[in-house]
Chains A and B, each alone.
Chain A
């Protein structure tokens, strides 16, 4: 039972961080690609 609770919490954590982390990572990559022009 304790393991089930722990697994469920881990899934919630992964989903919550992916929910905010994926859009943020996408935005950062787009910005870095634009910034490359500065050093070309």
Chain B
């Protein structure tokens, strides 16, 4: 089936037409515009800082000076759903909003994401003030989650259109911001709660994030039709997995390649997210007496730095060695490192443990950042944003499977009498096994058959 592109819309300042770059526009202004959005929505990784204060809103002070939860205070388990709902709606919004994003362009999408994410905080603040948990679920979880999904995919295609010579690096920069958002949000949230409580922090964050994201929406531009960077010659023929054709988003879902890449992302994220969620506990149990709770918190922060840095490093590297080869490195090196982690515990080597985990988490982040350019290579640039949105359902699925896998295997080991320090050994080997499956899926990637391609448009000329 052949498709014709009719993805244009008319409108005001937010429309795609008003976002076309004026002559002399510098393309290096686009990554900061994308970072304005991703640094804000990356806050979701730091949401756990609100859990304890939210569970003590009606607390009383006990005889020993500690806070005792009130009878109607929310449990930590019920508060955990806020994050889960947000991630669920992130996946849904990215999957179902992708086609709309392609149609209206990056500015309207960023503005919608800003309104939803910032507005979600404001609605959640009402939920806190009136002590209505459902309102918090709806505000931060549903509205904020939709803002997360739209914001995540909003700049991806725009960046790759501006940087056809370095698509991995360009998207790596933006998605690095998603990894880095928690570094800012965590101390900022704690500071704001110290001033005026949780509801006050939500109101301030909602307003600040809305304004910050709107700055990104103001800066962002799309290149004029046919624009190419100076000195860049667009390839005229497909080479290996890199196609010069385009595949429509609905057609992409009918290809084997889409589902192979879905599996590749799912397995890479499952392995990483499973151990990321347990990193603090795991480090303390593998090195009892050597890593304290405070040091474990520092370890988690350090892993987040590797996660963020890996997004830029690996995505940029993929521009030189290719996307398929980059994922081959993730899976092959990942298998070795996961298999060696238990040995570092037996050796008592904290340095090697931190180093191995750091590299693993860098490849977890690198997987997120490299996938948009991989999709562009395989399906072309025209619908890459929408296809990327659909592929992110793999993230939502992995977000459930990864932690469950790690938690249940650990508990089973402990219940079977295995010492806590050794309880993660089997988990690590299972993770290595998952990566071996990912290696095979990635190895099976071949170019998309021509019958899935859209009708070719005339080749672009330099503006």
Enumerate chain A interface residues (CB-CB to B < 8 A).
5, 9, 12-13, 16-17, 19-20, 23-24, 26-28, 30-32, 34-40
Contact = CB atoms under 8 A, between A and B. Distances in A.
A25 to B, nearest CB: 9
A17 B301 CA distance: 24
Contacts of A17: 32
Q: Which of A19, A23, A28, A31 has the most CB of B within 10 A?
A: A31
A14 to B, nearest CB: 10
A18 to B, nearest CB: 9
B35 interface: yes
Contact of A38 (B186, B302, B304): B302
A16 B39 CA distance: 13
A36 B177 CA distance: 23
Given A16-B33, A20-B32, A35 B302 contact: yes
A5 B298 contact: no
Given A20-B39, A37-B298, A38-B350, A31 B29 contact: no
B305 interface: yes
Interface of B: 24, 26, 28-29, 32-33, 35-36, 39, 177, 180, 182-184, 186-187, 215, 219, 291-292, 294-299, 301-302, 304-305, 350, 354
A40 B33 CA distance: 39
Nearest to B302: A35
Contacts, number: 73
Nearest to B35: A20
A26 to B, nearest CB: 7
A27 B298 contact: no
A16 B32 contact: yes
A30 B187 contact: yes
A24 B302 contact: no
Contacts of A12: 26, 29
Question: Nearest 7 A-B pairs (CB), nearest first?
Answer: A27-B183, A16-B32, A35-B298, A27-B184, A20-B35, A31-B301, A35-B302
Given A32-B301, A40-B295, 15 more contacts: A9-B24, A9-B26, A16-B219, A19-B36, A19-B215, A23-B184, A27-B187, A30-B183, A31-B302, A32-B305, A34-B298, A35-B298, A38-B295, A38-B296, A38-B350
22 contacts: A12-B29, A16-B33, A19-B215, A20-B32, A20-B35, A20-B39, A24-B35, A24-B180, A24-B183, A27-B184, A27-B187, A28-B180, A31-B183, A31-B305, A34-B297, A34-B301, A35-B298, A36-B298, A37-B297, A37-B298, A38-B302, A38-B350
A5 B36 contact: no
B230 to A, nearest CB: 15
A38 B301 CA distance: 10
Contacts of B215: 19
A20 B301 contact: no
Given A16-B219, A23-B39, A31-B302, A37 B183 contact: no
Find the residue from A12, A19, A32 having the highest chain B CB count within 10 A. Answer: A19
A31 B345 CA distance: 24
Contacts of B296: 38
A35 B299 contact: yes
B39 A24 contact: yes
A34 B51 CA distance: 20
A31 B304 contact: yes
A23 to B, nearest CB: 5
Contacts of B183: 24, 27-28, 30-31
Given A27-B183, A34-B301, A38-B302, A20 B177 contact: yes
